[in-house]
Amino acid sequence: MTLSELEVIKEFLQAKQPITTSELENNLILYSDQDFATNISGKFLLIRTTDDSVRQRDFMKMIRRNIIFYVLNYSDYLDLSDTEKDEIIKKHVDLYIKAREKFQTKSDRIGEAGELILFLLLEAEGISQIVSKMRLKTDNEWPFHGVDAIHLEIKDGKVIFHYGESKMRKTFEIALSKSIDSIENFESKPKEEDIEVDLISTNIDKSKFEGFAEEIVKLVNPYTKNKEHVGHKYSVFLGFDWDLLKDLSKKAKDDLQKYVKVQYEKEHPKLIEKIQKAVLGSQKIKDKRFKFYLLPFQNEEEFRVSFRDEL
């Protein structure tokens, strides 16, 4: 594809973004992107507070109300604007039920909240989901294998396929370690990527990409020529407990939002160093491109379980 054709696709997809950065900022502080290393970038995130508490539940409500866009294809909700008011309400309820049925309801060791958060973060940056793996599930208790997400970004004349990985764990170290293990495992099994390519080829959301779907499928085909402008990146969401959020009394008379923000910024260099060591210290993935999204919680397990229970 030519540069001008790529720009057309980029503008076309931006018009279909289900969420914007400004919407996320109602519940999150979004720090500017940082370069952690030559091939590693990252974005620090922080849940906003009231005067005396962290707005964790508000954030959960925000991500929950977007499950339709995460699970379903564009064609499933495309016709809402042409529907009578009472039918719109019924249609919304039907779509919500259809989307909700794809989520696990039994296991406490679920990661679907994190996967939904990663979806929203990528979409807000204009990085579009190509295939909804959740929609492909035939059993809601079945966890899909391979990468957690497949998204497409067009930037600076390049096509970048984002392989998503999401981990929410008690500590940052465990979340990071588990995500690295998953990516190393994916990289060590060439057939895994073949499966992802096949998923794109056979299940791309054609209603979303319309006339561009065939061109995108060609880009993942290993036999397509002239792919110098095509690349891959791992987009990794890490959710973890942060002890400071469990005892907010230490802020004394300080403004809570300012206090938490200042303390979190002091943690940034330590977290960056751990990411550098984990990625660059791995022979399997040290040359791959990464973007990390880091978000601390008061209690990530409670967040995940509440998300599941309140769907």
Domain encompassing residue 77: 3-309
Q: Are 134 and 111 in contact (CB under 8 A)?
A: no
Cα–Cα dist 131/192, whole Å: 16
Positions of the chain with pLDDT lower than 50, given as ranges: none
Cα–Cα dist 75/141, whole Å: 25
Which pLDDT score is estimated for 171? 97
Which pLDDT score is estimated for 291? 98
CA nearest to 291, candidates 29, 33, 20: 33
CA nearest to 204, candidates 119, 123, 131, 128: 131
Cβ density class 260-277: b for 16+ within 10 Å, e for less:
beeebeeeeeebbeebee
Which pLDDT score is estimated for 215? 87
Which pLDDT score is estimated for 198? 87
Which pLDDT score is estimated for 85? 61
Answer yes or no: pTM beyond 0.85. yes
Looking at the structure of the chain, the number of domains it has is 1
Which pLDDT score is estimated for 193? 80
Which pLDDT score is estimated for 144? 58
Which pLDDT score is estimated for 80? 67
Which pLDDT score is estimated for 139? 57
Which pLDDT score is estimated for 37? 97
- Residue 279: partners with Cβ closer than 8 Å, 6 or more residues away: 37, 39, 40, 180, 285, 286, 288, 290
